[in-house]
Structure 1
Amino acid sequence: MPVLAFAPPESFADLAERISPSVVNITTSALVAGPSRGGPIVPEGSPFEDFFNDFGDRGQGGQQRSEALGSGFVISEDGYIVTNNHVIEGADEITIEFFSGEKLTAVLVGTDPKTDIALLKVEAGKPLPFVAFGDSDTARVGDWVVAMGNPLGQGFSVSAGIVSARNRELTGTYDDYLQTDAAINRGNSGGPLFNMAGEVIGVNTAILSPTGGSIGIGFSMASNVVTKVVDQLKEYGETRRGWLGVRIQDVTPDIAESMGMEVAAGALVIDVPEGPARAAGIRSGDVIVTLDGTAIGNGGDLTRKVAEAPVGAVVPVVILREGESMTLQVTLGRREDEEAKAFPVSQPGGGGAVEPRELEILGLTLQALDSELRGRLGLAADATGLLVTRVDQSSDAWTKGLREGDLIVEAGQQGVTRLSDLRDRVEEAKAAGRRSILLLIRRDGDPRFLALAVN
């Protein structure tokens, strides 16, 4: 099939004229601490003494008012407005300027720092022009998009570009950004990213730039994330996300091979504290492959899908355990209720202590835990595992990140308490024709799976 390249629209003018009335400029104001007193010391009798007496104390000490600029857009005729949380964070006054020049004071309905979204409300006394959200999942790389906002405080401005990439992650747990080369600068934050139908498919949030100005790498939070946040902020004034209660990592190709999986996909469970997952029977070492009928490609997929599910919902979770597939029913909790609690790290069970002796294998030098080592490392009396005392820097173990002081607690998804346990697991992996073995290690109490080559 031939690949066709479509010419850009002859003009974006009709689209811009239609959607501009729904885009707003946002000015925020807040009291901040003024600079400390001090400044230049002027000798008594100096000709500059009067000047600094008149002007030197202005704004020094106490508090002064600071202003910031951003963008937003109206999503309903009764005055709900979406913007970024960082645009209004800490503000005690929020002023909305409409395309017509009219200005209104907004009140804050709710915020979600995790997705950097805020919901505002104005009382206009009349129906306001608004725009609708589109389906960001249908946006394709190469599609035309239009960004609108208030860049660098210059007022209403339009820029056009394409979707450069999808499913970008920056630093947030729930990140799902559309990347675009439409010009986005400071002041565009919180403004809409439109598709050619005039639907909002993203909220302009961040840029990647060594200069602070647009170099064509901008990020807009996908509308399918934003709409769920906005709906909850409108209904509750806060977010209410589902919580599964697992610690996870991605399934890499070498981990998949070590577990006998044909495809490197799913979320590998590394720890299960008290919570919904443990109550449903999920264990460390399980691979979650679907949640409520949706395939899980990686850990990020699982995190987002769980967050989107209703609190208290009973969802089927399909896992792989020792090569077998099974379905468990999990009743989701609420993440916000759990975040303030400590996230305990479970300790693996196992056999008793043995006399310490060294084993060199897989580029590692190991010792079995005994009471002396547990005391030296500050471990619980019932802690089990093999302590890494040296790592060959030319080995796969070093490349994969294993270091002296790490504790190996499982090999081949079975607990190891003696040095012979690990040696046996390695031989079993070789006999099964596998090129690697899956290890569960703990570093400073934090668990992590990794796969080491056995040949």
Structure 2
Amino acid sequence: MRALVLLLFALVALAQRLTSPEEVARVEVIKKALPAVVRVQGSALSGEGPVVGTGFFISPGRLVTNYHVVRDLADLTVRLLDGRTFPAERFAVDPGIDLALLQVRGVVAPAQLRFGKSEGLPVGAGVVVVGNPFGQPFLASYGILSGRGPLEAQALDPSVGQEVGEYLFTDAPLTVGNSGSPLLNLQGEVVGVVSDVVGGPGGVGGIGVAIPAELVAQSVEDLQRYGIPQRGWLGASLLSLDELPPVLLRAVGLTTTQGAMVDKVEPGGPAARAGLRGAQRDAQGRLLALGDVILAVNGRPVRNKAEVVQLLARYRPGDKVRLTLWREGRRLEVTLTMVARPRSAP
């Protein structure tokens, strides 16, 4: 009888602390995720002192973090939840989506996280982040999936992440040090990897930005198998039509701002091999004539440059992709053949 009374008291106490099924799920997700999350740290090559980010194990000795976290660091180490610290090294990197894989020496991961699907996660669904905000180790935050879509290029480091067509946004409190943190659903699956915070002074009070899990998982598979990403890519820089002067669009007969203009074509890339034409500019860089305008990818209309990048990223080397273009006042179609991209510098 006494044991039953104690059990009832325990259940009442638990109910007072955890008031909803969602709260119970959230606590369980954090509890299971914490041992898989690490503090990534190293010495800045610029001599500015230690730099801290976050990562998480996906296999016994390998973890995921952001490329921008480790890009300029030497003497990489990772700190586990129990306080132990181990040396780490870059295994492979994918600057195009701001991702890096680290190999950790001398440890077997106490826990690992698995990737889920972000695509079916509805806006408003609860999400959890575990990381190292301001370098303070192993803190969790909670919020909702606020939305998904492209991000203005100037909001992020222009040298990384330019091949992410669609980001996830969350109102979960995030700040410096959370880069590389897992964004988890309430089943404990990684649905995104935190890459930045935009808005607010120094990012505080802003919106968290994460790379969708599907894109991360694809990159991880490529990096582990080939050492470089195998996403489809155009091999050209783009401008969304709504970034261009309307007078130039009208001059070539375009009545829409839905699409993306080819600005500069990279030698040897898929765009160059398919004969795509870039824009003409004067010595000061002012636009004189439009390049080819991409209106659709494999028959699917595109609204902007982000959608072109996102759609092409689904293909692999050897795949053929049909582009619908607007060139010199008429529509035409060309076929791109995806090729393996040049090896990215670590």
Distance 1:321 1:164 in 2: 38
| Alignment-derived partner of residue 113 in structure 2 | 131
Q: Would the aligned equivalents of 2:94 and 2:344 in 1 still touch at CA under 8 Å?
A: no
Give 1:191 shift: 0.9
Q: Matched residues in 2 for 1:120 and 1:338: separation?
A: 16
Q: CA RMSD in A?
A: 3.4
Q: How does 1:67-82 map to 2 (within 5 A)?
A: 67-76=50-59, 78-82=60-64
- If the length of structure 1 is used for normalisation, what is the TM-score? 0.57
Q: Does 2:212 align with 1:222?
A: yes
| Aligned residue among 53, 59, 68 for 1:86 | 68
**Which residue number corresponds to residue 308 of structure 2?**
302
Local SS of the residue matching 2:223: helix
**TM-score for the superposition, normalised by structure 2:** 0.72
Work out the CA distance in 1 between the residues paired with 2:70 and 2:241: 38
Deviation at 1:126, TM superposition (A): 4.4
Q: Which has the higher contact order (CA 8 A, sep 6+)?
A: 2
Correspondence for 1:277 among 267, 271, 277: 271
What's the CA shift string for 1:412-433, capped at 9, x where partnerless? xxxxxxxxxxxxxxxxxxxxxx
Task: Give the secondary structure class of the aligned counterpart of 1:140.
Answer: coil
For residue 10 of structure 1, give the secondary structure of its aligned residue in structure 2: helix
Q: Establish whether residue 151 from structure 1 lines up as the match of residue 133 from structure 2.
A: yes
User: Secondary structure at 1:136's aligned position in 2?
Assistant: coil
Shift of 1:184: 0.8
- Mapped partners of 2:298, 2:222: distance in 1: 21
Aligned partners of 1:163, 1:193: CA distance in 2, in Å? 10
Tell me the distance in 2 between the aligned counterparts of 1:140 and 1:337.
36
Aligned-pair distance for 1:83?
0.9
Q: CA-to-partner distance for each residue in 1:245-293, whole Å, 9 max, x for gaps? A: 4453323495777766676433234565765435435456543233345
Of 22, 27, 31 in structure 2, the residue corresponding to residue 9 of structure 1 is: 22
Correspondences of 1:191-230 after superposition (within 5 Å): 191-212=181-202, 214-230=204-220
Report the equivalent of 1:248: 238
Show the counterpart of 1:236: 226
Instruction: Please identify the structure whose Cα radius of gyration is greater.
Output: 1
Q: Which runs of 5+ in 2 are unaligned?
A: 1-19, 279-290
- How far apart in 2 are the matches of 1:327 and 1:148? 47
Q: Which residue matches 1:21?
A: 35
The residue number in structure 1 matching 2:123 is 141
The alignment covers a number of residue pairs equal to 301
CA distance in 2 between partners of 1:143 and 1:323 (Å): 46
CA offset at residue 13 of structure 1?
1.1
Matched, 1:315 2:298: no
- Return the alpha-carbon distance in structure 2 between the equivalents of residues 31 and 321 of structure 1: 47
Letter aligned with residue 111 of structure 2: P
| Equivalent residues of 2:324, 2:333 under 8 A apart | yes
Alpha-carbon distance between aligned partners in 2 of 1:215 and 1:119, rounded to the nearest angstrom: 29
Say which SS state the counterpart of residue 162 (structure 1) adopts: strand
Identity %: 35
**Where does 1:309-388 land on structure 2 (aligned, <5 Å)?**
309-320=315-326, 326-336=332-342
In the alignment, does 2:169 pair up with 1:174? no
SS of 1:336 mapped into structure 2: coil
1:187 Cα offset (Å): 1.8
| 1:183 matched residue in structure 2 | 173
> How far apart, in 2, do the equivalents of 1:106 and 1:289 lie?
45
1:119 aligns with 2:132: no
In 2, the alpha carbon distance for the partners of 1:291 and 1:314 equals 11
CA separation in 1, counterparts of 2:124 and 2:335? 40
Q: Identify the range of structure 1 (12-21 vs 253-262) with the bigger mean alpha-carbon deviation.
A: 253-262
Distance across 2 between alignment mates of 1:338 and 1:185: 28
